[in-house]
Chain A
Amino acid sequence: TTSCMKELDQEPRFEVTPDKVYVDLNGYQQVLAKLYGGFAVTGQQGPAGQGDINGIDEGTSDYLRQYWSAQEVTTDEATIVWNDPGIRDWHNMNWDSSNPLIRGLYSRIYFEIAACNEFIREASDEKLSSRLSAADVTAARRFRAEARFLRAVSYMHALDLFGNGPFVTEANAVGFERPVYATRQQLFEYVEKELTALSTDADFAEPRAGGYGHVDKAAAWAMLSRLYLNAQVYTGTARYTDAATQAKKVIDAGYSLAKTASSNASQYGRLFLADNNTTPARNEIIWPVVFDVNNTQSYGGTTFLVNGATGSASNWQRRVGMTTGWGGVRATKNLFNLFQTPGGGITSDTTRDTRGRFWVKKADGSNRPLEIANLYEFEEGYGVVKFRNVNSADVAQGGSQNFSSVDFPMIRLAEVMLTYAEAVKRGGTGDLNLALTYVNQIRARAFNDQPGSAITAAQMTEQFLLDERGRELHWEGYRRTDLVRFNQFTTSTYVWPFKGGVAAGRGVESFRNIFPIPAADLSVNQNLKQNPGY
């Protein structure tokens, strides 16, 4: 009966076991594509199906969608009218450890980490040399370095959002074993170590040599500069000189600000069109998360940013290249006012500053109020027109599919330039004049090179730099981290409508500078500790 018992060894036919995946470079490449795609799609059937994680609606579970929400909807830059469980807690700042969206984001981050671990485990030198030709080994080693980078990014998100958390590497087996607990300090050190190693790793691509959508050493430097800029928050020790040093390396690596307008977009606006995978945007964006209206579909990413921010008016939909609008996300008046209220006598308005593009009409053609009286009425407050699913010839992409082809800039040169400026301004070793030059280059581009954009050294205060980041990088997922760094996220120093759940805005407890570890994970991993206050 042993042969009879052998019948119990059954194998799938269309799913593949690992021994059939890692047999050639193509297998490695397809798994690597999933590691990158982990930021863009939610499962193995676009736009939804065979989801990667559970316990949250799949479309909602997109990495970028939840990362973006945690970074933007919690701030003055955005608020959402929908009633999905947990969604209103973001802006009201009353989330708790059972919030399904926070848990979804956390699950996404650790899915990404676990998947990278799996790939790195299968790409050890020993395994590669036994499976691949010498030439393919070189390519696969570069894939492995990219996987390490992506894992470091996810850990950096974890340390920024949750502070502390579980820690697993390729040394841990796949199973149910509880990962150890790492403090924010430990996570910081790990991310620093990984990114530093990558920034000189011979396997890792030199700047701009990795191919479109692939990360390279410049991306590692950029992430290091971002890490160091926030080191004071993360560890209590400022690292502004390191931040400036790393930023400078990126700035000198051959990237350039996108400076060519198109018929339908300003120089700046063209960065966020469906063909931003081509020049000039391509010269500025260091790491894009790549979307395609037909081939990379999800209900998150830029599809969420375009559709979610668009209302039912057909001229609005037409402007952003869609035939629908989900009518959910818009800005508080504070974002608009960043362009209106001159800080220190600086001229800045939405007429000339091309970065401030708002939809100010209701569906029936009347004017929207700037002030939001009812937080859950989409037609109150201004809409934001930033990500648009049209190309620079103004052709909507993808017929009636209503997905987006806009690539999301995870890192772009302007951010690194502003990081340099702020790091130096905060006392890091560097060239303050150069910092001013960078800021004025960014502002000149924002004003389509019209006069009146430049600021003086005296005007370049730290607060100005925060505001400038708010203008330049709004809706790109930086705001919460920036406000925390300026101690304005939870305090009453700076309030916005409905901050803390009241119309006028109020300060909230400082423990909300980081999110809670989801109760669901605490319940199955007793190694973890809940963050203070939750």
Chain B
Amino acid sequence: AYAQGIGTVSGRVLDEKGEGMPGVTVLIEGTSLGGSTNSDGSFSIQNVPSGPHTLIMSFVGYTTQRQTISVTAGQNTAVSSLTLSENTTLLNEAVVVGYGVQRKQDITGAVTSVQAKDFVKGQVTNPEQLVQGKIAGVSITTGGGAPGSASTVRIRGNSSLNASNDPLYIIDGVPVDKDGISGASNPLTLINPNDIESVTVLKDASALAIYGNRASNGVILITTKKGLQGEKLTVNLSSQTSVSSRTKTYDVLNAQQLADIVRANGSTTQIGTLGSASTNWQDEIFRTAATYDNSVSLTGSAAKIPFRVSYGNLYQEGIVITNKLKRNSGSISLSPMLFDDHLRIDINAKGTQIDNRFIDGGQIGNAVLFDPTQPVRSAEARYAPYGGYFQFLQANGNPLGQAIGNPVAALENTNNVSDVKRLIGNVQFDYKIHGVEGLRANLNLATDIARGEGSATTNPFDFGNFNAQDRTDPNRSGRFTQYNQKKDMRLLEGYLAYGKQFGGTRFDIQAGHSYQDFVNKGDNFLAYRFDRTTLVNPDDRLIVPGYYSKLVLLSFFGRTTLNVKDRYLLTATVRNDNTSRFADGNRSGIFPALGLGWRLKGEEFLANSSTISELKLRAGWGRTGQQDVGGTYDYLPRYVLGNSAAQYNGVTTLRPSGYNEGLRWETTATWNAGLDYGFFDNRVSGSLDVYERTSEDLLSFVDVPAGANLTNQLNANIGSLRNRGIELNLNLAPVRSTDWNWDVNFNAAYNKTKITELGDQAPGFQGYLTGGIPGGTGSNIQINSVGSPNNTFFVRQQVYDSNGRPVEGVYVDRNGDGIISNLDNYKYKQAAPLAVLGFSSNLAYRKVNLSFLLRGNVGNYVYNSVSANLGNFSNAQGSTQYLINLPTSIYNTGFNTQQLFSDYYMENASFLRCENVTLGYNVGKIFTEKANLRLSAAVQNVFLVTKYDGLDPEISGGIDNNFYPRARTFTFGVNVGF
């Protein structure tokens, strides 16, 4: 190389305002030469071999720039000033797609990417919350306020009835297990959001089909932060402290109001049962909770190997007493280049360990209805065996059978803990084959290992587990149960890719193979008393020692892309998937897709337009598959052993179970047309998409003709379902000046789901009931019915009196048969929102920025199960030696008995929520310019606008019951980088 001589390269990097940008990494591609810009943005690189090179400039949050230069030996090559722009337009950004990356401008499918700088701020402890409200067509509903609770993520509605509707998650190229593990309901809780660099969502078939087998519900690609070659070592410390509290309580009667009602209407016994305390049980179980989230990361390049290591520590309290989560997470990524940079190796490992202490969600409901005239604790001797907590007791001191237990005692007396570990690791080899220009081989080996174990210990003085029959040793009361789960995923993927440029035409083709298996196993345990030696059921023994399943997915895939003059784009993919879930003969599914793009901006008539900075039309069609339904062996005839409590006449039972040999792929065909646009130098940009998705051979849980099979309902490929929708994404930069910058994003999606077929049906068959509700065993409030969206509410039409009060038990006789029965139920509204809206704003003035995010759902309805179940007098009267509180809705209805199916309890749950307001201050250099300090303050769940009467209208599934309220959270954050 010295024979060619060496030279220097110098220049200056400016930001969009023309100011010098310090700290920008400037590298000569393929070498370790380079460094960072100084305080005025200038740089100088010595010892650069003469000849052509590519200069790479990168800075977090800005679009990486590449500039070709030619270095002459012994001379300084001065590069003219280079401007880095914030990567809002992402035009040239490499977008992670299936099995590779593509330039955003080359993409023909519906793909949306969100970068770290645009993530939702504040106390975000689960990765999916980073993009909540940020992506059109992606609806993310958290499961409530409990730490680590699972979110429901739906991309363009539901494509399936009974098979999974969850998207596929791919983390750094590894399709991970999307199901939870025992002890952690949300599998994504096991990823530290601080490690995430970008989240990309693939929405239409032409983008998805490369993941054919599990792509029907969309794909979420998560890329974690990595080191860059030649980068200086940077250390980033971040610390957040949050305080959370509830925003609202259920409206229930207070002690005086309940006492008045009981004295006026109750029996002598009931009046005698009234206590003299005045307890707000909801106040007793809720608290102000603290959260501490600390993380540290080191990024740099050691011995030419770019690396990033991080450690995070999260301690999150729930707003219900005793509820908490602790998480320790670590990640490491290494990206060495070998053999003249021909072989790139990416090594990623993410390990997490979580300690949970769960609560029994039912206690939230119990706090709503527990008698407010009773105290939390009492010094009376008869409560001593119950730890001094007040409980409803019989005269002999034993628990009163049907009464509910003191919710504070139940929470304090139960220690339901879990310990979960997860390791996701992969090694990816990408080898540019020597001697064949444009040919590349890629091999990805990955594993996802999770171990969960937990136990629930109930104290001997717990009301619900009081062993009245054996008081010789109090430790023979209480309860101890445990569980464990072991999940192992293995992945082997390899592909060959070849690309060639002919003049203005670029052609890429790739083909590969994927093998993935999932083992899910664990042990079964018996239930013991507190002493852990006395069995709850003295005859209990383990007949089935554990559980086990293994799913294998085997695939072949290919993709070709064609780019003519950066104007005409074509992407074609095909994937063949095979699953062990189906019988031989039904295992194989072929999933093709085609995407076309026309980049109008590349045409001559627009090339020089200053108004239109980007314009691209996209259209695509494709088919994806779904096989994630029921158990792993549902096609096989199987016999299931009974446990020791299901024996008969002393003999263990073996049940022949129902099965469906004919299970096969459910397929979803998607049409998508889209427009990507940018105006006024991309100050206005975004995309518009319309789509139709039709799922066929729907994996539905349907009735089997009686006698034909070994059960009465099974999963079978019956029916079809359609989603139609439109999505708009709009980015605005209304203000760009030296001091002021304002960015706005608005996204909106409208989706309509309709079941179009459900197999053979007799005339008048309404559909399949679903959506279980409390109040009577086996009550359902929703139906899946042809012509309606899935989970349509199925209720009776309430009749109102002249004052607008509902008349108890009087409904419209819709079928006119003179009797009010199930046949008068009618389909009314749906649980899923028709429209999902997001609006975010980021305003920056010099070093201060203020951002907020508004989210809204329109057209979603909620069944107020709390009022329906509890809002009636008989609920309070049915008990004689104990009392149950009533919701204040009783004043509006005066119902004596439950009217569970009245549409009175259906409420419009459309809402607008201010998810987050964040104020940030970039203090800048501290410690003699060695470090950079940023401070932030955030409020989450700032306000909520809704007509819904209950605690929160945002209820996945639309049935409000025992809901763990979402907290309002104040967060203070410090970030130091050096």
Contacts and interface: CB of A to CB of B under 8 A. Distances in A.
Interface of A: 4-5, 7-18, 21, 27, 29-34, 36-37, 40-41, 43-47, 49-50, 52-57, 59-60, 82-85, 87, 89, 94, 96, 98-100, 106-107, 110-111, 113-115, 118-119, 165-168, 172, 174-179, 212-213, 290, 292, 294-297, 312, 314, 317, 323-327, 362-364, 376, 378-379, 396, 399-401, 519-526
B704 interface: yes
B539 to A, nearest CB: 4
B646 A43 contact: yes
Given A7-B517, A523-B765, A115 B819 contact: no
Nearest to A81: B878
Contact of B881 (A87, A172, A363, A379): A363
Contact of A8 (B579, B636, B780): B579
B899 to A, nearest CB: 10
Closest 4 CB pairs of A and B: A46-B645, A37-B648, A324-B401, A57-B778
Contact of A9 (B584, B713, B880): B584
B706 A364 contact: no
A165 to B, nearest CB: 8
Contacts of A107: 706, 712
Q: Is the interface of A mostly helix, strand, loop or mixed?
A: loop
A481 B854 CA distance: 65
A314 to B, nearest CB: 5
Nearest to A7: B552
Nearest to A104: B778
Contacts of A290: 648-649
A83 B900 contact: yes
B30 to A, nearest CB: 38
A294 B538 contact: yes
Given A45-B642, A53-B712, A15 B778 contact: no
Given A295-B650, A401-B537, 11 more contacts: A5-B554, A13-B548, A17-B637, A53-B713, A55-B769, A84-B779, A114-B710, A167-B707, A312-B402, A376-B897, A524-B705
Interface of B: 267-269, 394-396, 398, 400-402, 466-470, 515, 517, 521, 536-540, 544-552, 554, 578-580, 584, 587, 632-633, 636-657, 659-662, 701-713, 716, 759-762, 764-766, 769, 775-780, 819, 821-823, 874, 878-881, 897-898, 900
Contacts of B269: 363-364
Given A16-B639, A296-B648, A314 B759 contact: no
B654 A175 contact: no
Contacts of B536: 401
Given A33-B651, A85-B779, A55 B639 contact: no
B467 A399 contact: yes
Contacts of B539: 292, 294-295
A199 B291 CA distance: 74
A111 B548 contact: no
A32 to B, nearest CB: 8
User: In the complex, which of the residues B537, B633, B780 has the most CB atoms of chain A within 10 Å of its own CB atom?
Assistant: B537
Given A16-B639, A31-B654, A34-B654, A111 B711 contact: yes
Contacts of B819: 94
B660 A82 contact: no
Given A115-B656, A363-B880, A523 B760 contact: yes
A481 B291 CA distance: 66
A296 B716 contact: no
Given A57-B777, A294-B537, A400-B469, A524 B702 contact: yes
A176 B642 contact: no
B685 to A, nearest CB: 46
A177 B760 CA distance: 12
A113 B646 contact: no
24 contacts: A5-B554, A10-B550, A12-B636, A17-B636, A32-B651, A41-B648, A44-B641, A44-B643, A84-B777, A107-B706, A107-B712, A110-B706, A118-B656, A176-B660, A312-B402, A327-B878, A364-B880, A378-B878, A400-B467, A521-B703, A521-B705, A523-B761, A524-B759, A525-B708
A325 B880 CA distance: 13
A175 B716 CA distance: 11
Nearest to B761: A523
Nearest to B776: A84
Contacts of B760: 523-524, 526
Nearest to B477: A400
Given A5-B554, A176-B708, A312-B402, A83 B762 contact: no
Contacts of B642: 34, 37, 41, 44-46
Nearest to B872: A83
Given A5-B578, A114-B710, A177 B823 contact: no
A99 B825 CA distance: 13
A11 B761 contact: no
A87 B466 CA distance: 32
A21 B654 contact: yes
A225 B554 CA distance: 61
A114 B822 contact: no
Contact of B645 (A114, A297, A362, A520): A297
Contact of B651 (A29, A54, A84, A522): A29
Contacts of B703: 55, 520-521, 523-524
Given A36-B648, A176-B660, A294 B540 contact: yes
Contacts of B467: 399-400
Contacts of A119: 656
A285 B662 CA distance: 45
B659 A174 contact: yes
A66 to B, nearest CB: 12
A364 B268 CA distance: 8
B708 A314 contact: no
Contact of A12 (B549, B654, B708): B549
B713 A55 contact: yes
A212 to B, nearest CB: 7
Contacts of B641: 14-16, 30, 44
Contact of B707 (A82, A179, A378, A400): A179
A174 B710 contact: yes
A34 B705 CA distance: 22
A178 B552 contact: no
B548 A14 contact: yes
Contact of A175 (B655, B661, B765, B777): B661
User: In the complex, which of the residues B515, B660, B703, B708 has the most CB atoms of chain A within 10 Å of its own CB atom?
Assistant: B708
A110 B776 contact: no
A53 B712 CA distance: 6
A314 B880 CA distance: 12
Contact of B706 (A46, A179, A399): A179
A436 B779 CA distance: 49
Contacts of A87: 776
Given A17-B638, A297-B646, A312-B401, A34 B709 contact: no
B779 A94 contact: no
Contacts of A59: 777
A526 B703 CA distance: 13
Nearest to A327: B402
Contact of A4 (B554, B633, B708, B769): B554
Contact of A18 (B466, B637, B701): B637
Contacts of A167: 707
A176 B662 contact: yes
Contact of B653 (A7, A33, A83, A294): A33
Contacts of B764: 519
A78 B116 CA distance: 67
A7 B646 contact: no
Contacts of A7: 515, 517, 552, 554, 580
Contact of B584 (A8, A45, A364, A399): A8
A219 B649 CA distance: 18
Contacts of B515: 4, 7
A56 to B, nearest CB: 5
B755 to A, nearest CB: 15
A424 B879 CA distance: 50
B389 to A, nearest CB: 19
